Structure 1
Amino acid sequence: MWQRLFTALILLSGLSLAGCGLSPQQLNPNPVFSGGIVAVGQGQPVQVRVVDGRSSPVLGTRGGMYPETSTISVAGATILPKLQAQVEAAVRLMGFTPTAGAMNAPQLSVTLSQLTYQSPKDEAYVTEADIATVLSVDVLNGNRRYNGRYSASMNQRSGMAPNEETNNQLVTEVLSDALNKLVRDQAIGNALLP
């Protein structure tokens, strides 16, 4: 009996310590779009560029009693190549040919304008997070221009602070949601036409 009580006390003290101090996380999300693209092009070249418009790779913190030690980050060098590949794949499905240096070809620029992760501050047990992103599009085709903003967000509640794998999945879902909105905007394909 005493052994069970002692074990329970150790578990409880371990859980309380885990709730107070959370370690930083360097995420590696993998956003993807899914279907729903209308082909309007006929193989015309398009210059595709994806850039990071954030002021910092830090999305926010996981909260807890010491939020300054529980930052969540997504490096531009990690996420930009994945977004570039997805946008180029979408441009192909729109009927265009992504290219790096075609003279006078329309330009499609996608900017990761925002990616945030917010948890309640000064709470020992973090059970809630708000995750949001904004992707911005700028199409330049001769003297025509098109701009768009595509946002996505989620509020996630859980019984305990999400681990790195869970946060990777959550951030991936939010980025994928915004990416889906972007690639399904038929105005982008129309703006790329001659």
Structure 2
Amino acid sequence: MKQLRLLVSGLLTILATSSLTGCVTFNSQTLDLHPQIQVSRVLSKEKRIEIVPKDLRSDSVIGYRYTGEADAPSIVLKDSLHLLQHTTEHALEDMGIVRFYGGEFNLTISLIDLNYRASESKIKQTVNLDTKLKVTVSKGNKSYTGTYTADKQQTFVGVPSEEENEKLVNNLFSSVMNLAMNDQQLLDFIQFN
């Protein structure tokens, strides 16, 4: 009986120690972004704009979580076409546009690049992000094209959590969408054509 108690006590000690030191596993992550866009103009609600989203990246993976393991968990963007369409529509709605169908303007928004690169130095991890968008708006034989880039860097103690990653990429994407949706030449093209 005494040996059984010692065995159980030993097992409990091992379990408690392993839960304190922790075997942390990091999973692949799918980002569900919800960018915040602040608009600066009001456009005529009579304008009709058909939005065409495109993802021109060769891979849905934007990067990898740096864990020191050979097979690092990937980070992917959830439904990039829906993200582009939905975010652009909301920004234009905030400007007064309510008709999203063809017949007047065609607005193509293309995600050219979105990259997440993590590196480690001692106990700190630095994440570098960059993204690039291209927007072309056309009416008849006239058009305007703008290209927008944003980058961010943030340092963490240890591996960033899924929540920290999502917030970081969401802030980056909000920045680049704000540049696009507040491009005065783009908005002038819509307003005066």
Report TM bin, short chain.
0.7 to 0.9
Q: 1:73 aligns with which of 62, 73, 76?
A: 76
Separation of aligned partners in 2, 1:127 and 1:135: 27
- Residue identity matched to 1:28: D
Establish whether residue 56 from structure 1 lines up as the match of residue 59 from structure 2.
Answer: yes
Match of 1:166 among 158, 164, 167: 164
Contact 1:48 1:98 in 2 (8 A): no
* Deviations, residues 90-122 of structure 1 (Å, cap 9, x unaligned): 2234444442232xx12111111111100127x
Check the 8 A contact 1:31/1:83 in 2, yes or no.
no
Q: Is the 8 A contact 2:35 2:174 kept in 1?
A: yes
Match of 1:23, as an amino acid?
A: N
Secondary structure in structure 2 of the residue aligned to 1:131? strand
Distance 1:7 1:124, change over 3 A: farther
1:1-194 to structure 2, matched below 5 A, reads: 10=18, 14=22, 18=24, 22-35=26-39, 37-41=40-44, 43-66=46-69, 68-75=71-78, 77=79, 79-102=80-103, 105-120=104-119, 127-192=125-190, 193-194=192-193
Q: Is the 8 A contact 1:41 1:189 kept in 2?
A: no
Structure 2 counterpart of 1:27, one-letter code:
L
Q: What is the TM-score when the length of structure 2 is the normalising length? A: 0.80
Q: Residue deviations 1:31-90, cap 9 Å, x none?
A: 12023x212435221111222121111001112322533111113x2x432331221122
Note if contact 1:62-1:126 (Cα within 8 Å) is conserved in structure 2: no
Structure 2 gaps of 5+ residues are: 1-13
TM-score, normalisation: structure 1 = 0.79
Identity %: 26
Structure of greater relative contact order (alpha carbons < 8 Å, 6+ residues apart): 1
Q: Which residue of 1 aligns with 2:10?
A: none
The separation in 2 between residues aligned to 1:52 and 1:124, in whole angstroms, is 36
Structure 2 CA distance, aligned partners of 1:119 and 1:96? 39
Contact 2:48–2:101 (Cα < 8 Å) also in 1: no
Aligned length: 181
Q: 1:90 to 1:70 in 2, by over 3 A?
A: same
Q: Distance in 2 between matches of 1:38 and 1:181?
A: 13
8 Å contact from structure 2 (residues 136, 145) kept in 1: yes
